[in-house]
């Protein structure tokens, strides 16, 4: 499991985006984009511990990114930024179980987001390790298969597995196929999502 935090900032105002990036960069790695399209691409290629998103973007609304973010990164902390005290926005944020914050953001407020993300990630990793131990017993997983699941749970892209493990890509494919036969999942991503969702359902 990895120790570092990763954040996605989605804000089209350059000044606000730079300010948020400055506030979050001391707590982990930050990817910053200015459109829904760029955010969706980022969400498809990696996982994040927190997403800070403007409610209004040039090509859509920030609320539309919350569901895909949670599909890719179960347990992600979501903070919605808004420029006005709009009760409709606040109500919608509550409905989606997202935090909200009026611009401009203070560094102390962003630090709380990072702290929440870290606490949630640490709890999730404890539960994930427990689930992997259970899966190892139930499915008879090998150490190699456990390592693959751990890489997937950490959000490591599959095309990085070969380099991380020092084996050929076709070997990785065969190992994943063997893993899926044991777990009964159709795809590796499905197996990892099942693992993470089961971990999120466990009491801390």
Domain boundaries, the chain: 6-119, 123-201
The overall pTM is greater than 0.95: no
Task: Quote the pLDDT of residue 88.
Answer: 86
Domain range 123-201, CATH class: mainly alpha
Place of tokens 């990072």: 114
Q: What is the pLDDT of residue 3?
A: 57
pLDDT reported for residue 99: 92
For residue 2, the model assigns a pLDDT of 44
Cα torsion 139, 147, 191, 7 to 10°: value is: 150
Tokens coding 59? 């090509």
Q: Are strands 60-61 and 56-57 parallel, antiparallel or unpaired?
A: antiparallel
Q: Give Dmax (Cα) for the chain.
A: 54
Work out the number of other CB atoms within 10 angstroms of the CB of residue 66.
20
Q: Which fold, 6-119?
A: Rossmann fold (3.40.50)
- In sequence order, the 6+-apart residues with CB closer than 8 A to the CB of 156 are 164
pLDDT of residue 8: 98
pLDDT value at residue 68: 92
pLDDT of residue 193: 86
What are the Cα distances from residue 107, in Å, to 28, 32, 90, 134?
A: 14, 17, 21, 41
Q: Which residues, in sequence order, are CB contacts of 130 under 8 Å at separation 6+?
A: 199, 202
The answer to whether the peptide bond before residue 104 is cis (omega within 30 degrees of 0) is yes
Closest CA to 75 of 94, 56, 90, 97: 97
List of residues 6+ apart from 137 with CB closer than 8 A = none
Q: Which two tokens stand for residue 109?
A: 């407020």
Question: Which residues of the chain fall below pLDDT 70?
Answer: 1-3, 202-204
């Amino acid at each position: 499991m990895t120790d570092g935090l990763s954040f996605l900032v989605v804000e089209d105002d350059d000044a606000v985006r730079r300010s948020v990036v400055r506030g979050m960069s001391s707590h982990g790695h930050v990817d910053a984009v200015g459109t829904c399209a760029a955010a969706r691409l980022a969400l498809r290629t990696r996982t994040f511990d927190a997403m800070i998103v403007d409610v209004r973007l040039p090509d859509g609304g920030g609320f539309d990114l919350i569901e895909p973010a949670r599909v890719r990164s179960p347990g992600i902390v979501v903070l919605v930024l808004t420029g006005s005290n709009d009760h409709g926005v606040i109500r919608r944020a509550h409905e989606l179980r997202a935090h909200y914050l009026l611009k401009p953001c203070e560094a102390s407020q962003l630090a709380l987001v990072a702290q929440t993300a870290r606490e949630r990630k640490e709890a999730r990793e404890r539960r994930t390790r427990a689930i992997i131990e259970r899966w190892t017993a139930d499915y008879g997983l090998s150490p190699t298969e456990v390592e693959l699941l751990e890489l997937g749970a950490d959000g490591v892209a599959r095309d990085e597995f070969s380099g991380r493990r020092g084996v050929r890509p076709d070997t990785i494919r065969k190992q994943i196929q063997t893993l899926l036969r044991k777990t009964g999942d159709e795809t590796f991503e499905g197996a990892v999502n099942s693992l993470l969702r089961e971990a999120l359902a466990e009491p801390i």
